[in-house]
Structure 1
Amino acid sequence: RPWLASVASGELAEDTTNREMEDPENNVPKLPHDKKWKQQQLPAWQPIATPRNTVITLALTGSLLLIIGSILVASNNQITQIVERYDNRCSLNATRCNISMSINEDMENSGNPLHFSYGLTNYFQTFRRYVKSRSDWQLADVDGTLETCDPLEKYDNGTTGSRTLYPCGLVANSYFNDTFKAFYCPPNSGTCELLTGDDWKSTDISWQSDRDKKFKARPLASDETNVGPQGFPLPPVDNENFIVWMRVAGLPTFRKLYSTVGRSFQKGGEVRVEITNNYPVSSFDGTKSIILEEVNWMYGKNDFLGILYLLWGCLCLISAVAFAVYQHVHPRVIGDPDLIPAVAKEVATT
């Protein structure tokens, strides 16, 4: 069959390509402009991974990672942090519970206020049904559906009948409702002062984009309620502790900022935290803790990033040494024709 021979020789394919490129009206080929960009003739650099280049690249990369990791670890070690677990020391729904945080090192407020946070463990906020159960339209006070709040779009508390929840959804209605007050007791002093104002500030703790665009409070409508299954009124949706809670954590062990502390604490002093312990965690085997920490250019204390850089740096250096030793023991000449298989040689010569 003649057309098979044409296909085999490439004539048919070439003819088809030419016909597709021609302008049927003016019979002018539709060729790209004769420019390096459109003709794919731009200068390019294609590195060849020779053993020498590979060893040098791995050694330089490993050294750079070790330097960065050392800086991160050193900076992280300069941050003073105090963590106290309290769920096992405070009775649930008790009137008040006092936890003391001893200041063993000076905690300086040098341009960045200290952070007071609460921490939870074994709490999976990224569970699919949980994280999807919210209405960003309702939170931003714009027209939109509430069906995304399933299964907590409405709630019947047994007295007022079924009403639309505001805010609706599992994320909002699992709001962390423990409250905290802090008192600072200077060293060698028998009195403690309540932290207020800029010394205990619960504003500017959320993302500004969330405050400006995503959370807009409004009064309750007649067919709405802000009391959900937990049995307490939820705060306004523009409350910053609520906004912080609504930005779900990616890992089951997390902490969320509760307030900033705009003062320094001296070594030997004590911070006493008065806690209203309302939030149950025993049902999912979780724990609760309070965290007081300094803040520097790395934000808060976090060992993970620095250790990760050090591990990858060590891995790169070990790989560089392994490649160098192997190349020294079993050298390979680049471009040696004897390394080409015999079959490939026959194909190349025919």
Structure 2
Amino acid sequence: MKNPVYVYYQLENYYQNHRRYVKSRHDGQLRSPEDEHDVKSCVPEDNVGGESIVPCGLVAWSLFNDTYDFTRNNQKLSVNKKGISWASDRDSKFGKNVFPKNFQKGSPIGGKSLDPKIPLSEQEDLIVWMRTAALPTFRKLYGKIDTDLEAGDTIEVLLQNNYNTYSFNGKKKLVLSTTSWLGGRNDFLGIAYLTIGSICLSLAVFFSVLYLAKPRQLGDPSYLSWNRSPGGGR
């Protein structure tokens, strides 16, 4: 596998597109300290002890917090976690002068403490997580391995299993993958295009055969408005 090798965590049976879950956040709070106390849309994770939580809401509160340590042939293999989020998110959606406040562990799913000294625009794990997935099975980027992995290498992973997926019958997977100028592999779109295309082709053949076997009778053009007498007397 040629570098960079992308490290993803995959969650299954996790509905990040649930209406209540998606709405429990406030993007303005992520951008500006002036909106720090505007947490009415973040219930139930809006405040603690009467003080606003930054970032607030169910999405941030359920931040994925498993960690992975890699070794290759008994040598430590570093994972680069810089640049894993979209540059537009770091520059526009998350403020450089907004810092986590009152954000603590405690989520029944997992939860993760954020460093209060690091602005939200540099908390890339959070930024990746806050871009919610549309499907119940999804992958999110954990980091990048900036060295080549050769055939025959022995890769070992030390996993800290902090994130609780048992409560919703979910599953977790660790995925190593590469990409090209065409992007990464995604079977879903290819299967969807082939399925819809096959259905359309089958319907086109069916209606063509139906038309040849039993053509529709043409309508009587005398009933067209411009062929009828304007006076209506004849």
TM-score normalized with structure 1 length? 0.56
Aligned counterpart, 1:195? 77
Aligned counterpart, 1:206? 85
- The answer for unaligned runs of 5 or more in structure 1 is 1-106, 157-161, 186-191
CA distance in 2, matches of 1:234, 1:119: 22
Residues 1:258 and 2:142 are matched in the alignment: yes
Aligned length: 220
CA distance in 2, matches of 1:316, 1:233: 51
8 A contact 1:165–1:227 mirrored in 2: no
CA distance in 1, matches of 2:140, 2:164: 17
Over 3 Å counting, the alpha-carbon distance change for 1:147 and 1:348 in structure 2 is: same
8 A contact 1:155–1:229 mirrored in 2: no
Aligned counterpart, 1:117? 8
Aligned counterpart, 1:302? 186
Equivalent residue in structure 2 for 1:151, among 37, 44, 55:
44
Task: Provide the alpha-carbon RMSD of the alignment.
Answer: 2.7
Equivalent residue in structure 2 for 1:164, among 27, 32, 52:
52
Letter in 1 for 2:5: L
Letter in 1 for 2:43: D
CA distance in 1, matches of 2:105, 2:177: 33
Q: CA deviation at 1:149?
A: 1.7
Residue deviations 1:224-255, cap 9 Å, x none? Answer: 42225348522442311111011111122111
Q: CA deviation at 1:146?
A: 2.1
Q: CA deviation at 1:210?
A: 0.8
- The answer for unaligned runs of 5 or more in structure 2 is none
Aligned counterpart, 2:106? 229
Q: CA deviation at 1:138?
A: 2.1
Over 3 Å counting, the alpha-carbon distance change for 1:262 and 1:210 in structure 2 is: same
Bigger radius of gyration: 1
- Identical counterparts, % of pairs: 40
Letter in 2 for 1:348: R
Equivalent residue in structure 1 for 2:24, among 107, 129, 133:
133
8 A contact 2:32–2:98 mirrored in 1: no
TM-score normalized with structure 2 length? 0.81
CA distance in 2, matches of 1:137, 1:332: 60
